Amino acid sequence: MSKRILVICGPTASGKTGLAIDLARRLNGEIVSADSMQIYRRLEIGTAKPTPQEREAAPHYMLDVADPGEQYSVSRYVREASGWVEDILSRGKLPIVCGGTGLYINGLIQGEDFPASGADTGLREKLERDWQEKGPAAMLSCLEQIDPESARRLPLGDKRRILRALEIYGSTGITMTEHNRQSKERPPRYDPVMIGLTWEPRGLLYQRIDQRVDQMLDQGLEQEVRQLQSEGLLLGTAAQAIGYKELLAYFREEVTLEQAVGLIRQKSRNYAKRQLTWFRRDERVHWINGAGGPERTLQETTNYLRPILYNDVVKS
């Protein structure tokens, strides 16, 4: 069975969802989301989650798979998303992975075997206590004794990665350096064709981001956040999502509404820049400028895909 998948990636507000739906119709495809915030139930407007109408236009998977406040790891995403990819392939359809979370996309393509978490064994809790009691320098020194390469690479303040490196070694007896080396040597699980959407000049993308923020507010983003807050659902990672975090600060009267909206726009632009930096490093990505409009974007993408994908499914 072919392991070919199509990936639509790129920055926020670049039009990935619309293009993925159009391609799903042309290519007999089904869409697997790769968005780290659209996995959460009830976070609709602020995550720009596909609407019910868009989900009717093409099957979507990996939306609404976790409760707000629930910890959701890359390893869990890879496990659950690959299950849907395999299901789509088994039915003779084309999986279209669509999203802007680079870690999710890379993990899914590679089929990474992530080390087990130490949460269930109590190791993670112990490492957290050690960090508080001994301090960052002592924990980094501990890592240096078992995995000097990772210790040299990680800055002193990177608590999450330092503790994760110690957790991996404590759980498996294998260093993070060795695990990463083994992962790179293993052939990818899937054969991706990758399309990156951008908007050039960059200012056009930032205009789209600002317009999207305005649209989210018109659709009731403030009310959505208030409702989730009133139910005690905005916890953990979900509470840090762009749009939600800033409005929560407004509710606490730490900023004005105007300031909160300005922060949402600015952080969304900063996020788009980081996404572009991430995907620009991947030489497999073929970039399409969306500034010509959705019809032209679809046609340029189809022209690129025609000689690569199955000629009998790429329709004019």
Q: What is the DSSP string of 74-104?
A: HHHHHHHHHHHHHHHHHTT-EEEEE-S-HHH
CATH of the domain at 93: 3.40.50.300
Phi, psi of 211 (to 5 degrees): -65, -40
Question: End-to-end CA distance of the chain, in Å?
Answer: 26
Q: Are 139 and 166 in contact (CB under 8 A)?
A: yes
Question: Which CATH number does the domain housing residue 175 bear?
Answer: 1.10.20.140
Specify whether 202 is located in the same domain as 139. no
pLDDT at residue 65, rounded to an integer: 97
Q: What is the pLDDT of residue 312?
A: 46
Answer yes or no: is 310 within a domain.
Answer: no
161 and 213 inside one domain: no
C-alpha distances in Å from residue 130, one per residue of 7, 125, 140, 201, 228: 41, 9, 11, 48, 34
Same domain, 92 and 203: yes
Is 80 contained in some domain? yes
Q: Same domain for 91 and 219?
A: yes
Please tell me the total count of domains within the chain: 2
From 160, 185, 210, give the residue that closes a domain: 185
Amino acid present at 157: G
176 and 284 fall within a common domain = no
At 18, give phi and psi (nearest 5°): -60, -45
In a shared domain, residues 99 and 175: no
Does residue 264 fall inside a structural domain? yes
Please say which residue of 185, 213, 233 terminates a domain.
185
Among residues 309, 279, 283, the alpha carbon closest in space to that of 24 is found at: 309
The pLDDT of residue 179 is 74
**Domain identity same for 181 and 195:** no
Q: Are residues 89 and 193 in the same domain?
A: yes
Q: Is residue 316 part of a domain?
A: no
- Does one domain contain both 81 and 227? yes
Q: Is residue 93 part of a domain?
A: yes
CB 118 within 8 A of CB 167: yes
The answer on 99 and 83 residing in a single domain is yes
Question: Does some domain include residue 313?
Answer: no
**Quick one: tokens of 28?**
């007999």
In a domain, 143, yes or no: yes
Per-10-residue mean pLDDT, the chain, length 316: 91 98 96 97 97 97 93 90 97 97 95 61 84 91 91 87 86 81 80 96 96 98 97 90 97 98 98 97 97 96 89 49
Give the per-residue pLDDT at 122: 80
The domain boundary residue, chosen from 152, 185, 218: 185
Same domain, 82 and 191: yes
For residue 247, tell me if it sits in a domain.
yes
Residue 114: what pLDDT? 60
Give the domain range for residue 129: 123-185
User: Same domain for 204 and 288?
Assistant: yes
